[in-house]
Structure 1
């Protein structure tokens, strides 16, 4: 993956993650796929970022919950399935052939490497 400092004013500098056709701007909480803006929630953004930052690495639902939620609320780990389904729908709206989020049955999810 490629990580770049954003250019521009201000003391706080965010990072941009580029993974294939996916671009994430953490400072602005913006996602683009094939150059097209994709509207995502904060949780969806964090999930996408966690997966895309480490392609090929398998994340359990529990681990993805830890990475995406910053509160101690009790949440069923299957909510991750819902977030993944929503993300897939949003990315498929840009590219019908989108298949970069891979389901590993009984284990979790990963961003397809390459």
Structure 2
């Protein structure tokens, strides 16, 4: 089945380029120019992914992202890639509280957009839920702030639990240290990158006590960390 993508972009020239490249790559596409049209349109036209500009007339991309992530119970939400020229907003975009799957900065290469779209759709991150069971046997209990692995309590601190929850909710997605700091400390305190590294090291050690042959949390040089369980044979 052809995957469907909605482009929400008020600059027609940029939208035209995206439409052309995405169609050439085999996607079924539609274009909207106003933010306040998006939710009503999606009610009748489900899509797999939304390319969502940050600054839109009618309703901002951030507000649309929040609304789509809130969603209707039982109704699958599309993946969301935010598009922005405001580099200082990147951490908020991927914003752990917003749930965007990825971001692209203007100006961008159309080939980069296609690569990001393919990666997000391949991962299917939009289908992942915060409370979930993974092939590794990992379970997260938000009510008790308790993580178990193959039935064994990992004995995580609150910070370690939050880190694992954020990483494992979107397998394969790379989180920068800044984004992970935002998830750990929501009171905007200033902490160093080494603080994140230290918590990750302790979290890995607790996981490896029960899965000594597998690495679930991977370092990505120069970028940050990602959760990626091994592929079953």
Fold conserved between structures, TM > 0.5:
yes
- Structure 1 match to 2:134: 19
Over aligned residue pairs, what C-alpha RMSD do you find? 1.7
Q: Which runs of 4+ in 1 moved over 2 A?
A: none
- Structure 1 match to 2:188: 72
Query: In 2, distance between residues paired with 1:40 and 1:26?
Result: 12
Structure 2: state its 5+ residue gaps. 1-126
Structure number with the bigger relative contact order (C-alpha 8 A, sep ≥ 6) is: 1
* 1:42 correspondence with 2:158: yes
More helix by share: 2
**Structure label with greater radius of gyration:** 2
SS of the residue corresponding to residue 132 of structure 2 reads: strand
* 1:89 correspondence with 2:89: no
More strand by share: 1
Structure 1 residue 97, shift from structure 2 partner: 1.4
Tell me the number of residue pairs that the alignment of Structure 1 and Structure 2 aligns: 103
Query: In 2, distance between residues paired with 1:49 and 1:95?
Result: 18
Query: In 1, distance between residues paired with 2:189 and 2:134?
Result: 31
Are the aligned partners of 1:2 and 1:19 in contact in 2 as well (CA < 8 Å)? Answer: no
Structure 1: state its 5+ residue gaps. 4-14
